[in-house]
Amino acid sequence: MTTIAPDPSFTLSSLPPEISTKLQQHVEGEVLVDGASRGRYATDASIYQQFPVAVLVPKSAHDIEVALGVANESGIPVLPRGGGTSQCGQTTGAALVIDNSKHFRKILSFDLTDPDHATVEVEPGMVLDHLNTHLKSHGLWYPVDVSTAAQATIGGMAGNNSCGSRSIAYGNMVHNVLGINAWLANGELASFGAYSKSTGRAKVLGDFVKHLVDDLKPEIDAHWPKVMRRVAGYNLDVFHPQSELPYTLDNSVNLAHLLVGSEGTLAYFKSLTLQLSRLPKHKVLGVVNFASFYQAMDSAQHIVKLGPTAVELVDRTMIDLSRNNPAFRKTIETALVDANAKTVDAILLVEFSGDEHAPLLQKLQDLDALMSDLGLPGSVVMMPDAAMQKNLWEVRKAGLNIMMSLKGDGKPVSFIEDCAVPLEYLAEYTQVLTEVFRKHGTRGTWYAHASVGTLHVRPILDMRRDGALKMRAIAEEAAELVRKYKGAFSGEHGDGLCRGEWISWQFGPKITEALAKIKTRFDPNGLLNPGKIVNPPKMDDSAYFRYPPSYQVINVQPKLDWSAWNVQNNPVTEAVTAAGTGGDPAQGLAKAIEMCNNNGHCRKFDADVMCPSYRITRNEKDLTRGRANTLRLAISGQISHTSDIPPAHLPLATQAVKEVMDLCVSCKGCKRECPTGVDMAKMKIEYLAQYKECFGHTLRDRLVAHLPNYAPVIARIPALPALMNLRNHIPLFAKIQEWFTGISAQRSLPVWKSKHFWNQAPLPFATPEELTKHDKRVVLFADTFNAYFENENLHAALAVLQKSGYAVHVAQPAKDKGKQQPFCCGRTYLASGMVDEAKTRLSALVNHLAPYAKEGIAIVGLEPSCLFTLRDEALTMGLGEPAQVVSKHAQLLEEFLASEHKANRFVPNFKESAQPILVHGHCHQKAFAAVSPALELLKLIPNANPQLIESSCCGMAGSFGYEVEHIEASKQMAELSLLPRIRKESNAIVVADGTSCRHQIADGASREAVHIAKVLEQHLVS
């Protein structure tokens, strides 16, 4: 058997075949050894990158036991991983990475007999939000509420000793873990809990640590930070407490606390027993506005005396970035005393919680009085409403990722972001550190935990150029400040590759030596996540960087215009250069891909759209982050290709990229929900264009793409529509079509009509001349799907608009030789990677609509995917100023009518609805915040009570759900929440604007879903 020495001499780049084979033979889970899969696990949310030798996705504890045995025999390091959201490089390493998050995520047991001492035992891959969803019905929660709660796993949180926004009330992870069952490096299982009851190997290890501590008490007294937020090294002080918040209520020793914060270097967690807390029945929020950042920091020490559960900072940069983000703008403005934010330099979110509401309201009054006493009367915005609080907390949680949305190579870099200092020094510390940033030609954005003196700050550095030098210089000066103010250099996010070298600085040589002895006693061969905490590399060793000096992007001429991303930024002003000046050899495509900072927000399950494919597979490759990493590796030549090698100028046309893009449904969820703005739907178009250029288009591609061309032809030939529809009624025809085209026989296809929108007379459209004579006027875009398959929707829209006094012009080109080829947005061509053809069709439409748009006339459409092509893809196809002006006036019917209603121009008289209404938002509607207008309109119908179905993508996604290889994935997406909700509401009218959504609902729930235009027309009293 080959023996491989542990790090630092461990240099194996991939798992030897014989070891890979052995693993595959003895585990149920997946063993991933290809370069692309390893590359997707080479990064976390830090600046670092290390390729693992292989990845194991275990299905059971047995799989992990096997892997530990094989690794121990072979001398291969092991790195446990949860959500991969670490910000210091903890989950990157040249090791066998074991991903706990897919299968190793069960709740094992509850003890709820005493709500004040309730506990739960979970596997380490359990996600915090998923756990709290289970606990909510019991009135309980696990209160270490990190901002990444939707994707952070309990094992990862324990590994980092995570803290969260409410640690002032509930403590850190270490204060809320009661026990850990863990495998040691040799595969031995040990139970770590109360020291007084410990036995076996855990007792032996505990005695060893205690002996070390007894000898080190003077060193610990002298060097150990006294602040609660200290997560560096190992928790030696469980035997000699130093923190301002004791580890246990009775000051007893719990050996599980030795493992909390150990970053996978001492043991591999099998299960964790957690102390639960009662879920507060009520919460209130006071948002304190400050004219200066210093005032905010100085006030924190006084505010905490009121007993809040959280005091969180949002600084001016974050306020401005939030106001520029359509998802957050309205919410952040509700928190400001000055809606224009001209006089607000920072805000503090001060939360009070408890079982009674009235005392909490009094707390808000006390806060207001306190601020008046501090010379800031009228500075508090009171938020007793739970919905408003929730929305504002979402903005605060997204703070880190909002900051990372800066375009250009300069990015906020995490390396000193969670230094912790006593509150009395917080204002002075932040002021001096700001001067340090200025000295080094940068600035930092501050946010987070003012309650405990841990403010996250990331100076903007260009790590491809001089960023590493500045990082080192700033870290050294920050360290001196931390020492001056008696704080902790690592206060929340752990050590990893970023802060490991600072452990010896913080604790001194004797304690550092003791940490090494503990590591050796627990892990004699150094196989558990080597290079973290003990024997770490230098933080600025470029060999570990994601963007080292050797990083190069392949020269690419992309099919779409990515120049908006091809910019550079000023680290002080954050101003960006003109589009196209950023020096990207890929013309901005690489920089757009690199917007992904691996924060993992796309792993969430609880709300919104992103990422539907991951929700059904839980595979890293089917995740926006996984796709972005694969694209980045491909465009920089970091993953090799052994087959179907594309031309050098088309690096995305590879099998590795094809695999990750396979289940991307182009939902655009990431466009809106990814805080750093990764637009994977647009990247899929780019990939398709490159891939199809290399390998050609299939018959199915051509059938989908050219639908707008042949739909008019089929409609013109008598009896042909009826013949085409036989496929839906004769299974043999459907099966034959499946063989030839790859369109699933399980699907019904849209019904062809001989009578469609364009041949039904009379068509009472206003001419362009007539349009100019009316004050209320609109241009209607008749898309292919509604014109030829569901023309009743267009007629309903016409009726609603005309009955409401609008002159409606329908966009249509002039006839050519007596025939008319209706306008097309190019969407079907884009979906097939035919960018040039899409540009031709879209250009004709845009040029026709531009004169109307320049007159301020709204361009109204019914099909979201078509209409939003005018607002989105049209801007990246080199169509110039006409596309810009059209994009500003293109609206869905409900967007237009809702805005007109607010302006008192659309005042409908609706009759009462006999049924409740369920609304399913098309993904593109959600991406462009166009679902709310639909709900606003439907609320005007008496007794309608419209309810939004909380769902991700319906799974049909244009042609995706018709494709034979995707039919099962399509069904699974629909069954996540959409179809079950519809089945539950059997009496409701189901509204869905997307034609593909309506077909999915018909096929999956045997229910007719209708366009909002039909609902409005049916209820409109003429």
Q: Say what the alpha-carbon torsion angle 705, 707, 710, 714 is, to the nearest 10 degrees.
A: 150
Residue 503 contacts residue 533 (beta carbons within 8 Å)? yes
Residue 830 contacts residue 868 (beta carbons within 8 Å)? no
How is residue 108 annotated by DSSP?
E
In the predicted model, is pLDDT for residue 4 greater than 50?
Answer: no
Residues 824-875 have pLDDT tens digits of: 999 999 999 999 999 999 999 999 999 999 999 999 999 999 999 999 999 9
Helix/strand/coil percent split, the chain, to 5: 45, 15, 40
Q: Among residues of the chain, what percentage have pLDDT more than 90?
A: 83
Residues 613-622 have pLDDT tens digits of: 999 999 999 9
Half-sphere exposure (CA, 13 Å, Cβ side) for 260?
A: 31
In the predicted model, is pLDDT for residue 5 greater than 50?
Answer: no
HEC sequence for 640-675: CCCCCCCCCCCCCCCHHHHHHHCCCCCCCHHHHHCC
Residue 602 contacts residue 567 (beta carbons within 8 Å)? no
Mean pLDDT of the chain: 93
How is residue 238 annotated by DSSP?
G
Which of 588-597, 642-651, 685-694, 980-989 is predicted least confidently?
642-651
pLDDT for the residue 513 = 97
The CA–CA distances, whole Å, from 783 to 330, 667, 725, 802, 811 equal: 32, 19, 21, 19, 10
Query: 10: which residues sit within 8 A by CB, 6+ positions away?
Result: 4, 77, 94, 530
Closest CA relative to residue 432, chosen from 487, 481, 378, 380: 481
Residues 839-852 have pLDDT tens digits of: 999 999 999 999 99
Q: Token digits for 808?
A: 């409606």
In the predicted model, is pLDDT for residue 424 greater than 70?
Answer: yes
The CA–CA distances, whole Å, from 156 to 159, 401, 456, 972 equal: 5, 19, 19, 29
Sheet holding 807-810, edge to edge: 807-810, 777-781, 858-861, 890-892
pLDDT for the residue 8 = 41
The CA–CA distances, whole Å, from 498 to 125, 156, 414, 495 equal: 24, 17, 8, 6
Closest CA relative to residue 85, chosen from 545, 363, 389, 494: 494
pLDDT for the residue 444 = 85
In the predicted model, is pLDDT for residue 463 greater than 60?
Answer: yes
Residue 637 to residue 474: CA distance in whole angstroms: 32
Query: What's the pLDDT band for 528 if we cut at 50, 70, 90?
Result: very high
Interval 423-430 mean pLDDT: 94
Peptide bond into 611 cis (omega under 30): yes
Length of the chain: 1022
Residue 201 contacts residue 190 (beta carbons within 8 Å)? yes
In the predicted model, is pLDDT for residue 248 greater than 90?
Answer: yes
pLDDT for the residue 394 = 80
pLDDT for the residue 9 = 42
In the predicted model, is pLDDT for residue 488 greater than 80?
Answer: yes
Query: What's the pLDDT band for 63 if we cut at 50, 70, 90?
Result: very high
Query: What's the pLDDT band for 819 if we cut at 50, 70, 90?
Result: low
Coil, strand or helix at 396: helix
pTM of the entire structure? Answer: 0.94
Interval 417-422 mean pLDDT: 91
Query: What's the pLDDT band for 643 if we cut at 50, 70, 90?
Result: low
How is residue 86 annotated by DSSP?
-
Q: H/E element holding 372?
A: helix 357-373
Residues 364-382 have pLDDT tens digits of: 999 999 999 999 999 999 9
Q: Which residue has the higher pLDDT, 647 or 576?
A: 576
Residue 463 to residue 597: CA distance in whole angstroms: 13
- Strands 858-861 and 807-810: what pairing? unpaired
Which of 111-125, 218-232, 807-821 is predicted least confidently?
807-821
> What is the phi-psi region of residue 996: left when phi exceeds 0, alpha when psi lies from -120 to 50, beta otherwise?
alpha
* Bridge partners, 97 (sequence order): 55, 79
Which of 6-15, 292-301, 309-318, 862-871 is predicted least confidently?
6-15
pLDDT for the residue 13 = 80
Interval 957-965 mean pLDDT: 96
Which of 1-15, 77-91, 564-578, 876-890 is predicted least confidently?
1-15
pLDDT for the residue 318 = 83
pLDDT for the residue 645 = 66
Interval 12-36 mean pLDDT: 92
pLDDT for the residue 3 = 35
Interval 616-645 mean pLDDT: 88
Residue 765 to residue 807: CA distance in whole angstroms: 8
Which of 101-110, 394-403, 818-827 is predicted least confidently?
394-403
Interval 426-440 mean pLDDT: 94
Closest CA relative to residue 45, chosen from 166, 152, 164, 154: 152
Residue 710 to residue 716: CA distance in whole angstroms: 10
In the predicted model, is pLDDT for residue 7 greater than 60?
Answer: no
Residues 880-913 have pLDDT tens digits of: 999 999 999 999 999 999 999 999 999 999 999 9
Q: Token digits for 175?
A: 């204060």
Closest CA relative to residue 973, chosen from 952, 958, 994: 952
Nearest 5°: the CA angle 579, 581, 586 is 90
Backbone angles phi, psi at 97, to 5 degrees: -80, 130
Residues 179-206 have pLDDT tens digits of: 999 999 999 999 999 999 999 999 999 9
Query: What's the pLDDT band for 338 if we cut at 50, 70, 90?
Result: confident
